[in-house]
Amino acid sequence: MLFMKGASPRPGRPLSRAFAAVLLGVCSAPALAQDLAADINTLRIDADVVWLSVASALVFFMQAGFALLESGMSRTKNAVNVLMKNYMDLCIGTLVFWAFGYGIMFGENSSGWFGHSDFLLSGADDLEYTALLFQTMFAATAVTIASGAMAERTRFSAYIVLSVVVTGLIYPVYGSWVWNGGGWLAERGFVDFAGSTVVHSIGGWCALAGIIVLGPRLGRFPPGKKPHGIVGHHLPQVALGGFILWLGWFGFNGGSTAAATTAIGAINLNTHLAAAAGMTGALAFSVLCRIPLLLTNAVNGALGGLVAITAGCATMAPEYAVLTGFIAAAFVIGGSALLAWFGLDDVVGAIPVHGFCGAWGTLAAGLFYLGDPFNLERIGVQLLGIGAGILWAFPVAWLLFRVIDLSMGLRVPQRYEMQGLDYAEHYEIAYPEFSEIRLHRGKPGVN
C-alpha cells in the first residue's frame, strides 16, 4: 500500500526507537545513546540503498544508449536485429547472472580464481539484493559491447549463446579476480574502480575475437579496392545513444562507491571532464589529421574518455581526468584506423572505444594515482591486470566463437545478410512505410 493518509505518513515503518523513547521520556541515557547510534546506522544503510538503486537505474539505461548507438550506426535493414540483440542480452544476461554469474563473481572465493556460492540468490537480505541488481547491470553492459562490433552479420541464436557464456563465465570469472575480496588481482592492489578493464576491456576483447572469427561484412573490404566505409543509417539516434550512455556513466562510476558518500562528487566530476575532453580530443585530432568533423567520431571520443576514466575516477585529480580523456580520443581515432588496416570490421568502433581505451584508462589509473603518481610498482600491477584480461577473455571468447561457428554457425547465410537480418530473422522492418519490402501479416497474434 502506497500512502495511507488515514494513518501515519510513512506506514509500515514505526517511529525510530530512540525518537519514540525521547518523546515518551522513558529510558536511561546509555540505552538511548545506543538506540541513537543504531538509528544513524540504519539511516546510513537506507541512504546507501537509495543511491545504489538510483545508480542501478542509470546503468540500466545505458542499455538503451548502446541499443540506439549501435542500431543507428548500422544500416536500416538490420536496425531491428541490433535492437533485439541488445534487448536479449540484457534479458538472458540478467537471468544467467542471477543464476550463475553473481555466485562466480561474488560468492565465497577460497581459491582466488572464482566464487562458488550464492547461485540463484534467494532469501538474502535487502543489501545483497541491492548489490545483485547493481552488478547485474554491469554484467549486461559487458556483454552488450560485443553486439555492436559484430552487428549486421551475426546469427541471432549464436548471439544468445554468447550472452550466456559472457554473463555466466567470461565476465564473472575475471570480475572475481578484481572485485571479490579473495581475488588474486584484488590482493595485489590492482586498481579498477568501476571497470575500465573488468567491464569494458573484457567486452572489447570478446568483440575482437568475434569479428576475427566472423570476418568483415560483405562489401566492407572489396578485393583490390580501397576499404569501403559503410555509414550508419540514423545519426540522430547515434547522438541520443551517446547522450544516454554519458548520463548512465554517472551511475556507473558514481555508483561504484557502493555507498552514499561525498566521494561521488569528485568521481562524477572526473567522469564528466574526461568525456568532454574525449570529444574535444576527437575533434582536435580530426582537424590535425584532416578528417571531417564526424558526429560518429565525436561521440566515440566522448565514450572513449568515459571508458578510460572508469578505472581511475576515484583516485585522480581533475587535470589528469582531462588528460586521460583527451588521450583516449587518440586511441579511438587511431584504433579505428588500425583495425581497418588489418581488415577487421568493427561496425561501431567498440574495440577501440572499450578495448583500447579500457586498457589505456587502467594504465592511466596507475600513472596518475592521486598522491602517488608514476609509481613503477603500481604501474606494473596495472599492466599485469590489463594483460590478465586479454589473456583470459580473448582466447576463451575465440574458442567459444569457433565452437559456435563449427556447430550452429556464427554467421548468417550470405542471402540473409544481403536481405538484411530484420527481414530474414525477424520478419519485421524498422520503418515499413519508408521501405520497399512489404510484409504480409494475417495470423492473429502476429501483428
Q: Which of residues 7-46 bind its own copies (CB under 8 A)?
A: 7, 9-13, 15-16, 18-19, 21-22, 29-30, 32-34, 36-41, 43-46
CB 147 within 8 A of CB 159: yes
Residue 62 neighbours by CB distance under 10 Å = 23
Sequence-separated (6 or more) residues with CB below 8 Å from residue 121: 98, 102, 103, 128, 129, 132
The smaller minimum CB distance to its own copies, of residues 18 and 202, is found at: 18
Residue 284 is a binding residue for its own copies (CB under 8 A): no
The smaller minimum CB distance to its own copies, of residues 95 and 379, is found at: 95
Q: Could you say which of 119, 156, 184, 398 contacts its own copies (CB under 8 A)?
A: 156
Residue 418 is a binding residue for its own copies (CB under 8 A): no
Residue 412 is a binding residue for its own copies (CB under 8 A): no
Helix, strand, coil proportions of the chain in percent (round to 5)? 70, 0, 30
Angle at 43 between CA 42 and CA 44, to 5 degrees: 90
Residue 442 is a binding residue for its own copies (CB under 8 A): yes
Angle at 46 between CA 45 and CA 47, to 5 degrees: 90
Please give the single-letter amino acid code of residue 179: W
| Residues in 328-367 at the binding interface with its own copies, rule: CB under 8 A | 333-334, 336-337, 340-341
Residue 430 is a binding residue for its own copies (CB under 8 A): yes
| Residues in 206-265 at the binding interface with its own copies, rule: CB under 8 A | 226-237, 239-240, 242-244, 246-247, 250-251, 254, 256, 258-265
Residue with cell 584508462: 361
Q: Could you say which of 24, 223, 224, 433 contacts its own copies (CB under 8 A)?
A: 433
| Count of chain residues binding its own copies (CB under 8 A) | 177
What distance in Å separates the CA atoms of residue 233 and residue 120, rounded to the nearest whole number?
A: 41
Residue closest to 114 by CA, chosen among 205, 179, 163: 179
Q: Could you say which of 391, 409, 431, 437 contacts its own copies (CB under 8 A)?
A: 431
| Residues in 72-131 at the binding interface with its own copies, rule: CB under 8 A | 72, 75-76, 79-80, 83-84, 87-88, 90-92, 94-95, 98, 106-109, 115, 120-123, 125-131
Q: Could you say which of 78, 144, 180, 362 contacts its own copies (CB under 8 A)?
A: 180
The smaller minimum CB distance to its own copies, of residues 2 and 406, is found at: 2
* Dihedral over Cα of 401, 351, 151, 98: its sign: positive
Residue 280 is a binding residue for its own copies (CB under 8 A): yes
What distance in Å separates the CA atoms of residue 252 and residue 134, rounded to the nearest whole number?
A: 9
Return the CA Rg of the chain: 24
